[in-house]
Structure 1
Amino acid sequence: MKVKILGSGCSNCAKLEKVVRQAIDDLGIVADVEKVQDVAGIISYGVMSTPALVIDEQVKLVGKVPNRVRMVEILKEALPQ
């Protein structure tokens, strides 16, 4: 699984990264987590508000930080069946 956190490095971007990493640990899955901070990279996903979450090149969240339980659900939904 490839996870990207889109954002300029704001406090909510850091919170999203923390929640994502905790949820990955909770699930015991292997995921490559990458931060995308350049504006062109963020806009290439059609995202106009950050933070945003991209899983396997699919935008899953924009402009908010979910709690840990919701993040686990989002990651589970993105796992291959």
Structure 2
Amino acid sequence: MEIKVLGPGCKKCGTLAEATKKAVEELSIDANITKIDDMVQILSYGVMSTPALVINEKVVVSGKVPTVDEIKSFIQKA
């Protein structure tokens, strides 16, 4: 599973990255988590509001930091 955290490096982006890491650990799945801070790459996903979470190349949330449980739900649906 490929998971990407999109954001310019703000505090919320870091919070989302940590929450995503925790969700992956709690689900005991094999996932590659990548942080992307390049604005050109972020815009290529159609994201206008960061932070954003991309799972298997699909944007699942942008503009807010979801809870660990919400992230787990996104992962399970992917």
State the TM-score, normalizing by the size of structure 1: 0.94
Within a 5 Å distance, the mapping from 1:2-81 to structure 2 comes to 2-78=2-78
Long gaps (5+) in structure 2: none
Deviation at 1:63, TM superposition (A): 0.5
Structure 1 outlier segments of 4+, above 6 Å: none
SS of 1:35's equivalent in the other structure is strand
Long gaps (5+) in structure 1: none
Deviation at 1:67, TM superposition (A): 0.9
The residue type paired with residue 33 of structure 1 is I
Instruction: Tell me the C-alpha RMSD between the 2 structures.
Output: 0.6
Residue-by-residue CA offset, 1:17-51 (whole Å, 9 max, x unaligned): 00100000000000000111011000000001000
The size of the alignment, in residue pairs, is 78
Deviation at 1:68, TM superposition (A): 1.2
